[in-house]
Chain A
Amino acid sequence: MRYSVFSLLAQALQGHKGWTPAWRDPAPKPEYDVIIIGGGGHGLATAHYLASRHDITNVAVLEKGYLGSGNVGRNTTIIRSNYLLPGNTPFYELSMKLWEGLEEDLNYNAMVSQRGVINLYHSDAQRDAFARRGNAMRLAGVDAELLGREQIRAMLPYLDHDNARFPIHGGLLQRRGGSARHDAVAWGYARAADSRGVDMIQNCEVTGITVAGGRAVGVETSRGPIRAKKIAMAVAGNSSRVAAMVGLRLPIESHVLQAFVSEGLKPVIDTVVTFGAGHFYISQSDKGGLVFGGDIDGYNSYAQRGNLPVIEDVMESAMALWPGLGRVRMLRHWGGVMDMSMDGSPIIDFTPIDGLYLNSGWCYGGFKATPASGFCFAHLIATGQPHPVATAYRLDRFATGRLIDEKGAGAQPNLH
């Protein structure tokens, strides 16, 4: 059923009895053209673009829990394309363009809100580093503005601009950045893919990948074996575990990233703001909660929860940036398991096993990448060629040295 204000009002008159399930709940078929392992944002987006852009609809998305149970529902909902390196910028800009047309494409309001993303700087050196990034963005056709002290003061009057430790000197603004309603992204993709015939199989855990003659031909699942011509992994957070099923080791560590939401407040902050003297970012959801986060905890973890040192560090940054937050209460905190890659950038590539495709290594950037990740992964699976904006995301770049290390942190995942 098509969603619109008219269908909503019509349903209101009949007590909303006529709404149908957003997606079917089919039993798995014995064979598919493409199996996508992972019903998170990237897997669902891949299914949607396979079906809508490449007309490949004999597809199943296998999800071990419920749809959207991974990081798509555990992040701070920020979207932006303010990247530095040519390997990244066009990719994230494609993502931004897809975000901008997402509602129309999916007939689902994922509340994409281009409220602006501001990265604050606190020193001359940081200003120049942001100028370098802003200029790289402009060269790639992305919007970027470098703002000075007074401009930031006018836009964000509540911050501690004259912080006695790290005063705010200015900021890099991407006006087209913003946020989106994370769960709705997963649901919108799932519903759109389902409407084209893709099967969403929930509670279906992949326990093995069957390889015959060097080629992946099917999966073992908690709901029985399923054959497939192509198998695509989109299980960020658990990429190493799934890859290990076929004996692959990846340049990835799994780390926990915590996120926080405050109690609901009347609107206090319009844009997304990141602090430059600590790792901290904050925005406000449409429901009124302040959504914020910081660094990963820094140790390998699959536990989906973190510890107090990082929680306190995030709150310290919050207070340093915005001392009016002292009496605002943190309502919930949670953790997501991130694929932290060795250079801080993702991998969308073939694997050494024919018919097995890899989408992983999203680090902090997974949510904002969702549309382009699905788009480019679908392109790779359907055409056998990497999408032009994702050619740098190769698995062999660690061997060749064609790294995409935005921060220059090196082969240490917890520093990216």
Chain B
Amino acid sequence: MRINCPHCGARDAQEFTYLGAADPQRPDGLAATEAAMTDYVYMRDNPAGPHRELWYHGAGCHSWLIVTRDTRTHAIALVEPAKTRKAGAAA
């Protein structure tokens, strides 16, 4: 696969490390519940189709990226830096 890093250009996927689904939002703060955290840590939509997912460009710019990729075909529709995501905007 090739991932078009917004900072480095198109690079072989071997330069990146995969983490998983990008949409679950960490329940921050002391008020967060164990149930919500369990859901965040363990439960996944795991769709067959477009999937927003986190990749880390460890052999490049060290950016965390949100890649929208179809899990049936591996076709990539969009690559965005995770850092620009505003809290709560996703999902």
Contact = CB atoms under 8 A, between A and B. Distances in A.
Interface in B3-27: 12-14, 18-21
A19 interface: no
B42 A300 contact: no
Contact of B1 (A249, A251, A307, A398): A307
B72 interface: yes
Interface residues of A, number: 25
Interface in A79-99: none
B46 A399 contact: no
B71 A301 contact: yes
What bracket does the count of chain B residues touching chain A fall in? 20 to 34
A398 B72 CA distance: 28
5 contacts: A241-B46, A300-B46, A300-B53, A301-B71, A309-B13
A254 B69 CA distance: 14
Interface string B22-49: 0000000000001100100111111110
B84 interface: no
Chain A interface main SS type: mixed
B38 A253 contact: no
Contact of A252 (B14, B34, B46): B46
A303 B74 contact: yes
Interface of A: 238, 240-241, 244, 249-254, 298-303, 307, 309, 342, 398-399, 411-414
A414 B18 contact: yes
A156 B18 CA distance: 36
Nearest to A398: B42
Nearest to B74: A303
A399 B45 CA distance: 17
Nearest to B72: A302
A307 B48 contact: no
B44 A240 contact: yes
Nearest to A339: B46
B13 A399 contact: no
A249 B44 CA distance: 6
Contacts of B18: 298-299, 414
B47 to A, nearest CB: 8
